[in-house]
Structure 1
Amino acid sequence: MHRCLHITHILYDIASNIYGHVDPLSTKNLPGLRQARADLASLARTCRTFRDPALDVLWSFLTSFHPLIRCLPQDLWVKDDGGSLVFTRPLSSSDWVIFQQYAQRVRIFGRYQDPFLFEYIGYDVLRTLSRFLPDGGCFLPNLRQLNWSQPQDHMCKSSDTDYFLLLPLFMGPHLTCLCLESGLCVRTGLPSEPSTSALSIVPSLHASSPLIKNVECMGASEKITQSISESISQWPLLEYVEAGALSQHAIAHLCSLKSLKHLGVHLDQEGHHTHAKFPPTLESFKIVAQSLTACRQYLEDIHLTCGHLSIQIVSTEFSSASSFQQFFSFLSSHLSASDLHTVKFVYHRPYDGGPVDWSLETLRPLFVFKNLTTFHSSYYCATKLSDAD
């Protein structure tokens, strides 16, 4: 064997390149993904030299807990009448060793906006496995990124099944990226609300995962947002944050961080308000609101010196050109005139509203931003701009 193949990094690069242009976390090219995983499995069986690098890459991206159960001895599990995996005998120490051999290789668990982390897995199976964990231990000890989507209520076999209670069992010491999403309640169409006991564990997530840099809490209820605010207030290395209306304590903590590069705020209703002066290290700010009014209310006592600003309005009310002009004028008094260079403005208008004529006067308030080079708008409007303008 060539001596280059004795270098671990080269072996790992060879295994990683088998994926090619296929994204292991995407659903766009499933045949290509299945072929790449089959090739990695074949490479792992080729010789001992390739075994560990190939298995590391093969198990590094996991979108479901299902493969970890199926890697256990076949006399341990079986599919019940509903298609879920259940244990047929007690779990032994040797079974747990096999589980650990694969679980320790996982670096990314879950796919964005995919609520099937535990599909076809009996809740008792997960509880049985958790009994083998040491105090403070987790299922995936080397996990770096967790994309946690709460299963929708119709996926749970019983009303007392709260998968959110399992979240701490995936918060390892090496975790740096956390994405929390709430499933939708079929009856109301609103985000599912975890139980009181589940909500009580969210404020202490920072204790088991102190190295978090990226946090996304999307589509979550106000209770979850307030709970995650407590942990956000304790993470000192945050760089990227997207969440709902965080508490004033969490906002104050973010303002004190020199590491923070991006902040996204998603408002589900009007009336949210905060006070903040973010450091110049903040590179981009994003706000999603239900109306221009809600956006203004939140930004009223905020000062930004970032270079990128993204505004997304999901409105049910029709707005005139003068309303946009007033809003742009409002922005000019709350953002640094010298730092802003990119503005992305997305306005989801009502279906019964016609186009609005934007003239040079509509955009004139933005002229105070001397270094503004890009203004992107996806709003359906007719622009009355001449060559001279």
Structure 2
Amino acid sequence: MHPCLDIPEIFRRICDEIRLRTTPPHPQSDLASLARTCRALSEIALDSLWYEIDGIGPLIRCMPRDLWEIDGDRRLFLRRPLKSSDIHIFNKYAQHVRSFQSHYSPWHDLPYRALPSYFCGRGSDRLLPKLEQLAWHVDNAEVFPHLGIFLSSALKTLSITFDVRHREQLSCLGTIPTYSPNISKLTIGLSHHTTFSFNNSLVEGFSDALQAWHNLSELEIFYAPLDGLLCAAQMPKLKRLSIHLAKISERSLSDLPNFPWDPPCPSQHYFPALKSLALSSIPSLTVATQFFKMLRSTKLSSLKLGFTAPNTLPDHFHTFFSILTEHCNPSSLRVFQFACWHP
């Protein structure tokens, strides 16, 4: 074996390059071969081999063949209770997972339902103890609550989709930082946005839940109510913000003058650390103009705007850019994008 491979940092870099390779042969086979080469290389190679998984199916299928089965509909299920030897095998590989994606499919359904009984004999309350990135996009109200077993202090990035028809899902948004206080990047999707209207109660619940997130440096929200902006404005460490606004009714637009565009205390500032801002699906220049009044002390380096306002008048543009230059520091801006299209 080449002596360079004895240096963990070099061998880890090699494994990372193999993992990120996009051309044939498939990197999984090479990483598996490295993991089987010798004990000294095994752990680092397994870190790359198991770095990212889609669903818990791959971990289940590493356990003895008499434990699991795939039926004619390609659904994976457990045939018997887990033994201590099964748990040992599961833990051996689960500790290497850093990134986990869960999109609802038959591959993911039944294993999640079996997890409560699995944890009864495991002596641990976290499925993947070193998980750093989690994408939780399940389309099943029964599966969604299993999110909790993936939350830990190691988690740094979370992408999650809530079904706004189920208020209990949205309410858990405010409790996640209790279990994963080190999340710095959060992406929120609100499903069924095209057929669901945001009533006052739902908007308040969404806003209240966001107040628990104090350590975010990056936040992206898909189809958010305009009112959700207020909570983001008060996040002290937020540097990057991307919001795709939900469709706003004419009534909501008429309520804009009552929106608290100014901080409650004169000594406070909205978006104190913000450097990058992207807003899309903006219904009018009026909304954008009002919003930029919240950026009095912000030194943006990147600003991207997308409008659905086909009937905007020229004088509206004049007012908009006047407000923009007044409340954003032009000397710090390095990237500016402006797009307007018909909805």
Q: TM-score, structure 1 length as denominator?
A: 0.71
Query: CA offsets per residue over residues 244-275 of structure 1, 9 Å max, x none?
Result: 34647733541xx2x32112233213336453
> Which residue does 2:113 correspond to in 1?
124
Q: Which residue of 2 aligns with 1:387?
A: none
1:194–1:65 Cα change, 3 Å:
farther
Identity of aligned residues (%): 29
Superposition deviation, residue 128 in structure 1: 3.3
Q: Hey, what's the Cα distance between the residues in 2 that align with 1:164 and 1:149?
A: 8
1:251 aligns with 2:244: no
User: Which one-letter code corresponds to 1:175 in the other structure?
Assistant: L
Cα distance in 2 for residues equivalent to 1:248 and 1:322: 26
Measured in 2, the distance between the counterparts of 1:73 and 1:284 equals: 49
Structure 1: how far apart are the matches of 2:45 and 2:312? 56
Larger RCO (CA under 8 A, 6+ residues apart): 2
- Residue 327 of structure 2 aligns to a residue whose secondary structure is coil
Is the 2:100–2:134 contact (alpha carbons within 8 Å) kept by the matching residues of 1?
yes
| Corresponding residue of 1:242 | 220
Stretches of structure 1 lacking an aligned partner (at least 5 in a row): 23-28, 183-191, 351-389
SS in 2 for 1:174: coil
Specify the alignment match of 1:313 in structure 2.
307
More helix by share: 2
2:179 maps to 208
Partner of 1:347: 340
Contact 1:233 1:249 in 2 (8 A): no
Q: 2:274 aligns with which of 270, 279, 282?
A: 282
| Alignment correspondent of 2:159 | 179
Size of the aligned set, in residue pairs, is 316
Question: Cα deviation per residue 1:10-63 (whole Å; 9 max; x = unaligned)?
Answer: 2212211213543xxxxxx7xx4x711111112212222222111110101112
**Structure 1 residues 94 and 253, CA, compared in 2 at 3 Å: closer, same or farther?**
farther
Which residue of 1 is the match for residue 266 of structure 2? none
2:243 to 252, 265, 278: 265
Distance 2:218 2:47 in 1: 27
1:107/1:145 contact within 8 Å kept: yes
> CA offsets, 1:271-299, max 9 Å, x none?
36453533553211122234223333444
Shift of 1:324: 3.2
| AA in 1 matched with 2:68 | W
| Aligned counterpart, 1:54 | 45
Does structure 1 residue 331 correspond to structure 2 residue 302? Answer: no
Q: Match of 1:251, as an amino acid?
A: A
| Structure 2 contact 303–336 (Cα < 8 Å) conserved | yes
Q: What letter is aligned with 1:38? A: S
Counterpart residue type for residue 176 of structure 2: L
- How does 1:1-389 map onto structure 2 within 5 Å? 1-22=1-22, 32=24, 35-110=26-101, 115-116=103-104, 119-122=107-110, 123-132=112-121, 134=123, 137-151=125-139, 156=140, 161-182=141-162, 192-193=163-164, 195-220=166-191, 229-230=207-208, 232-243=210-221, 244=224, 245=226, 247=228, 250-251=231-232, 253-254=234-235, 257=236, 259-270=237-248, 271=252, 273-275=259-261, 276=263, 277-278=269-270, 281-292=273-284, 293-303=286-296, 304-315=298-309, 317-350=310-343
Q: CA deviation at 1:300?
A: 4.5
Distance change (3 Å), C-alpha of 1:11 and 1:311:
same
| CA-based RMSD | 3.0
